[in-house]
């Protein structure tokens, strides 16, 4: 049975195309009558501003004496690298296999109060694993339907926030409490598109009012509401991983080229497995491929070399609205040099591509 965002009535009323995301019925794209569609919504985020409902994402609190130290012994990244009022991207992995249970954002309020935003489908498993290992005195609370999450992304995002009477004045991956339309929100300068932007947390009951104020401000700045279809094309252009594609219980962060989110000088779940991969260099590697013909790659398609030998598999593939060509992220048998020619089997036809550096398009997050 599907679960619904607090903005579900709006999405349905305007005729958004809806689909399941981790058990939640969420908008893929909005109708042409609103100027929508994946291509238009993608372009709005790159050129002006877009507003996403991502309230399906999980929310949880971890509180109590030693909360930070506990999470730091579990997660791959080092929470001591950030201060109070900052957020951090990290991963929680299976200790035995190194596979990724989930990737998530941690908000650090203090050493005894942390807030987690995991992926929708993985929230219950993340919290179960934490609860099983949490020392006495640490409380873990599932707040999935206590807060909404909205994402405001694009070069006009600062102007939208200011038009609502809020001075952003935030460094990348930092957050603060403020109000929009008299409603208390948490504003964090982060996102999943490669553009400058914010994620905005409000009470579930305040979501409609906050959304309406942001939506009107976005429209006045030439932007659009955007669905999760555009969110996917935007993140693929950046090479950002998606759990279940580039990260999974059978793909470690080392294989997924996510070592930048690992602090090797501390303990974390799965460290032994990942250290072994790192030392032997025999693991698979995630790389980017730009298609040179009209082919559009999709997840699960085989990647081959000049000899027709299968060297990997596409984890995410799409049409890039910015580059106007097919692009793919692929898990390959080893690291291949940039500009190496590869071929992707697209429904029985070999589509030509080349390995490129990420991101596919310039990032403007900072």
Picking from 5, 364, 16, 20, the residue whose alpha carbon sits closest to that of residue 193 is 364
Inter-CA distances, 351 with 45, 86, 340, Å? 29, 44, 14
- 80, 107, 142 — which closes off a domain? 142
Q: Does the residue 209 lie in any domain?
A: yes
Q: In this structure, what CATH number is given to the domain that contains residue 87?
A: 3.30.70.1400
Together in a domain, 219 and 89: no
Together in a domain, 50 and 149: yes
Picking from 243, 233, 246, the residue whose alpha carbon sits closest to that of residue 194 is 233
Average pLDDT, the chain: 97
Together in a domain, 75 and 203: no
Confidence at residue 106, expressed as pLDDT on a 0 to 100 scale = 98
Q: Which residues contact 279 (CB under 8 A, 6 or more apart)?
A: none
pLDDT at 127 exceeding the cut of 90: yes
**Domain that residue 68 falls in:** 60-142
25: left (phi over 0), alpha (psi -120 to 50) or beta: beta
Q: With bands split at pLDDT 50, 70 and 90, how would you rate the model's confidence at 168?
A: confident
Together in a domain, 161 and 114: no
Confidence at residue 123, expressed as pLDDT on a 0 to 100 scale = 98
User: Which DSSP state fits 313?
Assistant: E
pLDDT digits (tens, 9 = 90+) for 182-222: 999 999 999 999 999 999 999 999 999 999 999 999 999 99
Q: With bands split at pLDDT 50, 70 and 90, how would you rate the model's confidence at 333?
A: very high
Together in a domain, 152 and 132: no
pLDDT at 1 exceeding the cut of 90: no
Together in a domain, 159 and 116: no
How many structural domains are present in the chain?
Answer: 2
pLDDT digits (tens, 9 = 90+) for 11-68: 999 999 999 999 999 999 999 999 999 999 999 999 999 999 999 999 999 999 999 9
pLDDT at 362 exceeding the cut of 90: yes
Together in a domain, 157 and 45: yes
Picking from 46, 52, 68, the residue whose alpha carbon sits closest to that of residue 5 is 52
- Rounded Cα–Cα distance for residues 207 and 202 (Å): 6
Number of other CB atoms surrounding residue 351 within 10 Å? 21
With pLDDT > 90 as the criterion, what percentage of the chain qualifies? Answer: 98
Q: With bands split at pLDDT 50, 70 and 90, how would you rate the model's confidence at 91?
A: very high
Together in a domain, 64 and 125: yes
Confidence at residue 317, expressed as pLDDT on a 0 to 100 scale = 98
Q: CB under 8 Å, gap of 24 or more: what pairs does 280-284 form?
A: 283/252, 283/254, 283/255, 284/251, 284/255, 284/312, 284/331, 284/332, 284/333, 284/334
Q: Does the residue 261 lie in any domain?
A: no
Confidence at residue 176, expressed as pLDDT on a 0 to 100 scale = 98
pLDDT digits (tens, 9 = 90+) for 53-73: 999 999 999 999 999 999 999
Together in a domain, 74 and 45: no
Inter-CA distances, 116 with 187, 242, 293, 322, Å? 15, 17, 42, 32
Together in a domain, 77 and 213: no
- Rounded Cα–Cα distance for residues 210 and 203 (Å): 10
Q: Cis (ω within 30 of 0) for the bond into 117?
A: no
User: Which DSSP state fits 258?
Assistant: -
Q: With bands split at pLDDT 50, 70 and 90, how would you rate the model's confidence at 320?
A: very high
Q: Does the residue 329 lie in any domain?
A: no
Confidence at residue 157, expressed as pLDDT on a 0 to 100 scale = 98
Q: Does the residue 324 lie in any domain?
A: no
Q: With bands split at pLDDT 50, 70 and 90, how would you rate the model's confidence at 124?
A: very high
Secondary structure of residue 11 in the 3-state scheme: helix
- 109, 142, 175 — which closes off a domain? 142
Mean predicted confidence (pLDDT) in 260-276: 98
| φ and ψ at residue 203, rounded to 5 degrees | -65, 145
- Rounded Cα–Cα distance for residues 222 and 225 (Å): 11
For 316, the token pair is 């995410």
Together in a domain, 68 and 47: no
Contact 21, 122 (CB under 8 A): no
- 206, 237, 268 — which closes off a domain? 237
pLDDT at 235 exceeding the cut of 90: yes
Confidence at residue 282, expressed as pLDDT on a 0 to 100 scale = 86
């Amino acid at each position: 049975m599907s679960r619904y965002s607090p903005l579900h009535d709006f999405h349905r009323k305007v005729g958004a195309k809806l689909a399941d995301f981790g058990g939640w019925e969420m908008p893929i794209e909005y109708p042409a009558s609103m100027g929508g569609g994946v291509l238009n919504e993608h372009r709005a985020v790159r050129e002006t501003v877009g507003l996403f409902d991502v309230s399906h994402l999980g929310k949880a609190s971890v509180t109590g004496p030693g909360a930070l130290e506990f999470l730091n012994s579990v997660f791959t990244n080092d929470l001591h690298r950030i201060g109070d009022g900052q957020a951090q991207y990290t991963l929680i992995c299976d200790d035995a296999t190194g596979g990724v249970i989930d990737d998530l954002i941690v908000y650090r309020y203090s050493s005894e109060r942390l807030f987690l935003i995991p992926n929708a489908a993985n929230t219950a498993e993340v919290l179960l694993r934490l609860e099983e290992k949490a020392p006495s005195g640490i409380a873990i609370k599932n707040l999935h339907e206590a807060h909404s999450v909205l994402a405001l992304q694009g070069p006009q995002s600062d102007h939208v926030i200011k038009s609502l009477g809020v001075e952003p004045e935030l460094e990348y991956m930092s957050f603060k409490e403020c109000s929009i339309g008299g409603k208390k929100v948490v504003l964090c300068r982060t996102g999943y598109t490669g553009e400058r932007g914010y994620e905005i947390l409000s009470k579930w009951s305040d979501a409609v009012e906050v959304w309406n104020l942001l939506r009107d401000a976005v429209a006045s700045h030439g932007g659009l509401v955007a669905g999760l279809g555009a969110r996917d094309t935007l993140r693929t252009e950046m090479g950002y991983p998606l759990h279940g594609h580039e990260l999974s219980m059978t793909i470690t962060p080392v294989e997924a080229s996510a070592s930048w989110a690992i602090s090797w000088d501390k303990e974390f779940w799965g460290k032994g497995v990942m250290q072994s991969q790192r030392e032997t260099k025999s693991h698979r590697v995630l790389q980017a491929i730009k298609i040179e013909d009209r082919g559009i790659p999709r997840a699960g398609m085989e990647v081959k070399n000049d000899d027709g030998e299968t060297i990997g598999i596409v984890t995410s593939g799409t049409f890039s609205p910015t580059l106007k060509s097919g692009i793919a992220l692929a898990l390959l048998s080893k690291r291949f040099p940039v500009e190496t020619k590869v071929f992707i089997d697209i429904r029985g036809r070999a589509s030509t591509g080349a390995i490129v550096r990420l991101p596919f398009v310039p990032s403007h997050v900072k």
